Copies of this chain bind each other. A is one copy, B any other.
Amino acid sequence: MSGWLVIAGLGPGDPRMITPEVTAALNEATDIVGYIPYVRRIAPRAGLVLHESDNRVELDRARHALAMAAAGRRVTVVSSGDPGVFAMASAVFEALETGPQAWRDLDIRVLPGVTAMLAAAARAGAPLGHDFCVINLSDNLKPWDLIARRLRLAVEADFAIALYNPRSKARPEGFARTLDILRECCEPGRVLVFARAVSTPDEELTVVSLSDARPEMADMRTVVLVGSSATRVIRRGGAPIVYTPRSVLA
């Protein structure tokens, strides 16, 4: 019996966005490890042990998963979206690097998934259709000054910007400061998409100009997409379409 560790992305919520290779890893696992709401997305079955843990204990969770795999279990660590984008893959490798040497011989695989910004962009049209950047607004793990600096440089580079974790109860003011920085650097008509809980029953999509954006439009379940200066809105009967053209003229 030889154990393995898979770090798998469950996509944004809709089970029809889970890739077949992730489904197979869930079916072959003896143990599922993850943050409570993600583990609750897995159907229980005989012989499968579900290990739920709370937010902000990612390193402990990673060590637990590695130790079980080293003991011969078949362990799937689940993340929402893609495990490599602000999710469990980095935490597992941090734990691996600082853990017992034997862990480095483990069979470890990362299985990609549809990360939140791609699902959000698809619902809105194609706002990330040209060069873009991706910034986690949570300042739990990095100083606010670095976030502010990256936002200013991203606008200077004229990237579209995907903002993860814009706002939480513990950090109600960070997203207001983000909007202040965007207002300093961008024209008032810059297009923003607030994409909440995409592909779940709670999905909400709001397209606004920067001048109409308000901090309370975002919460923990929202990804915010900020257009580049070239991003366009097509008005029509239904929801507007937001897209960034492929070309920039010289």
Contact = CB atoms under 8 A, between A and B. Distances in A.
A133 B162 CA distance: 10
A178 interface: no
A149 B141 contact: no
Specify how many copies of this chain sit in the oligomer. Answer: 2
A248 B143 contact: yes
B24 A20 contact: no
B85 A118 contact: yes
B122 A131 contact: no
Interface stretch (A46-54, A65-73, A230-238): A230-238
Chain A: number of interface residues, binned into ranges:
35 or more
A245 B122 CA distance: 28
A237 B105 CA distance: 7
A113 interface: yes
A2 interface: no
What are the 9 closest A-B residue pairs judged by CB atoms, nearest first? A90-B129, A133-B133, A89-B126, A104-B236, A110-B122, A93-B243, A142-B248, A143-B250, A16-B21
